[in-house]
């Protein structure tokens, strides 16, 4: 097993120029690891990694994971995939290809190298869940033919592929099911609720609440998530996951809107728009497994994380 510690490793991060991927690259570089980002810049940007380019331990490669990649690394973090509904619905066939062909290629690479490989899976594998909060042994309630299916089913199939490479080829795999994560470097126009509300509040525009705003989400600050991902990758070889990662403090979308208005000091008012198709009513991770296996719990309170994110968007919007 070549991956022993981050410090002495060369690590591939697919989707390294994205929101979570760029924070992960930064964190890996801080351990002394060599980091290669492979990204096709579909939803990520070079601006997210501009501050890393001067680091001799960092390399950014333009690559689409639906094509094979031949490179020598000790470990792989597979994050490449558009994550927000408006982005993954723009070219849904490519979204499925990215999850499925991307997983096959990265698993093939890991198999050749005998390298451990992490998969960024998602709470969306639970669909519109019928149990609450969601534990990892829940199989989910996913519509296979809806507009979210390219993402949900793509990620479910990727999990299947990971487990089959583990069973069939003995590949060391690590799967995290990531719940709603927010923080600096989210894109201002990605349509996700945290970025949308902050941008609307800062511009003094109406805050677009979908449905009655009574649906819930549990928001994890990106630093907490990256810490958990780092710990998961470093676990014993027999730890495969899936492990839920997120924050279990649950808020209604209306509560989120009110917090954003308060923290930005905005005069924006709420307006109500129709709820999108298949929009889950309630979502909250059960984090017992993450706590037991990783000795990890999220630390950053929503208000503190929102303050950091608001500061980032203020800066970005002034630049734009
Ligand atoms: P993001 O869109 O900012 O990052 C995804 C990155 O993947 C982008 O840089 C994009 O350019 C790149 N990419 C997309 N298709 C690619 C392809 N075919 N080849 C190479 N690169 C490609 O999104 P994010 O929020 O940073 O999400 C990162 C990962 O975490 C994704 O796999 C996503 O599904 C997962 N995830 C995120 C969340 C969340 O709340 N942010 C929740 C659950 C799971
Ligand atoms: N692959 C890759 N890089 C490598 C090795 C494999 O991108 O270093 C891709 C290649 O496209 C292959 C896929 O991973 O089709 C799956 O590889 P695997 O060895 O599992 O199966 P194969 O299709 O080669 O029998
Ligand atoms: N949402 C909203 N207004 C927006 C964007 C999203 O009310 O401008 C709602 C959306 O309907 C969902 C929740 O906020 O109920 C979270 O949406 P997001 O797209 O951020 O994440 P996901 O649905 O994937 O959890």
* Residue 8 confidence (pLDDT): 85
Nearest CA to ligand 2 atom 8: 109
Element (DSSP H or E) covering residue 38:
strand 34-39
Q: What are the tokens at 167?
A: 């069973």
For the chain, 320 residues long, the average pLDDT of each consecutive 10-residue run is: 78 98 98 98 97 98 98 98 95 98 98 98 93 94 95 98 98 97 96 97 97 95 98 96 96 97 97 90 93 98 98 84
Does ipTM top 0.95?
yes
Q: In whole angstroms, what is the distance from residue 140 CA to residue 244 CA?
A: 13
Residue corresponding to tokens 């709420």 = 270
Query: Is 41 a residue of the active site?
Result: no
Task: Take atom 17 of ligand 2 and give the residue whose Cα is closest.
Answer: 108
Question: Could you give the strand order of the β-sheet that contains 173-178, starting from the edge strand earlier in sequence?
Answer: 58-62, 34-39, 10-14, 75-78, 116-122, 173-178, 243-245
Q: Where are the domains of the chain?
A: 4-181+221-248+281-298
Alpha-helical regions (H) of 83-148? 85-88, 92-113
pTM of this structure:
0.97
Q: What is the 3-state secondary structure (H, E, C) of 233-253?
A: HCCCCCCCCCEEECCCCEEEH
Q: Can you give the pLDDT at residue 2?
A: 57
Distance of CA 216 from the midpoint of ligand 3 (Å): 9
Residue with token string 């907490």: 224
Strand 34-39 versus strand 270-273 pairing type: unpaired
Q: Report the pLDDT value the prediction gives residue 303, as an integer from 0 to 100.
A: 97
Where are the alpha helices (H) located in 70-192, listed in sequence order?
85-88, 92-113, 149-169
DSSP conformational letter for 132: S
6, 126, 151, 221: the catalytic one is 151
Q: What top-level class would CATH report for the domain 4-181+221-248+281-298?
A: alpha beta
Nearest to 277 by CA among 200, 195, 211: 211
Terminal C-alpha separation, the chain: 46
Beta carbons of 66 and 38 less than 8 angstroms apart: no
Output the CA 273–ligand 1 centroid distance in Å. Answer: 26
Name the residue of 13, 38, 79 to mutate for ligand 1: max ligand atoms within 8 A of Cβ: 79
Q: What is the pLDDT of residue 5?
A: 83
Predicted pLDDT at 154: 98
Q: Which of 140, 133, 266, 127 is nearest to 197 (CA)?
A: 266
The CA angle 25-28-32, to the nearest 5 degrees, is 130
């Amino acid at each position: 097993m070549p991956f022993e510690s981050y410090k002495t490793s060369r690590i591939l991060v697919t989707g390294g120029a994205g929101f979570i991927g760029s924070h992960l690259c930064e964190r890996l570089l801080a351990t002394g690891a060599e980091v290669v980002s492979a990204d096709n810049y579909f939803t990520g940007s070079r601006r997210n990694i501009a501050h890393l380019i001067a680091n001799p331990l960092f390399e950014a490669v333009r690559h689409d994971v639906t094509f094979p990649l031949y490179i020598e690394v000790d470990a792989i973090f597979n994050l490449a995939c558009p994550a927000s509904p408006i982005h993954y619905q723009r070219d849904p066939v490519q979204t499925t290809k990215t999850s499925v062909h991307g997983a096959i290629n990265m698993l093939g690479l890991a198999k050749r190298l005998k390298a451990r490989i992490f998969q960024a899976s998602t709470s969306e594998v639970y669909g519109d869940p019928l149990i609450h909060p969601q534990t990892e042994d829940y199989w989910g309630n996913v519509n296979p033919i809806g507009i979210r299916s390219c993402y949900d089913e793509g990620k479910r199939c990727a999990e299947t592929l990971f487990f089959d490479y583990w069973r069939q080829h003995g590949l060391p795999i690590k799967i995290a099911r990531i719940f709603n994560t927010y923080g600096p470097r989210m894109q201002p126009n990605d349509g996700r609720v945290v970025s949308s509300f902050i941008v609307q509040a800062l511009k003094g525009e109406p805050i677009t609440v979908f449905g009655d705003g009574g649906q819930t989400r549990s928001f994890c600050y990106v630093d907490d998530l990256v810490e958990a991902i780092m710990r998961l990758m470093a676990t014993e070889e027999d730890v495969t996951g899936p492990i839920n990662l997120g924050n279990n403090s649950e808020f209604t979308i209306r509560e989120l809107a009110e917090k954003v208005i308060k923290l930005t000091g905005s005069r924006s008012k709420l307006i109500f728009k129709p709820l999108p198709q298949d929009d889950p009513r309630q979502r909250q991770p059960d984090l017992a497994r993450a706590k037991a296996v990783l000795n990890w719990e999220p630390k950053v309170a929503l208000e503190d994380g929102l303050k950091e994110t608001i500061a980032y968007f203020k800066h970005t919007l002034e630049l734009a």
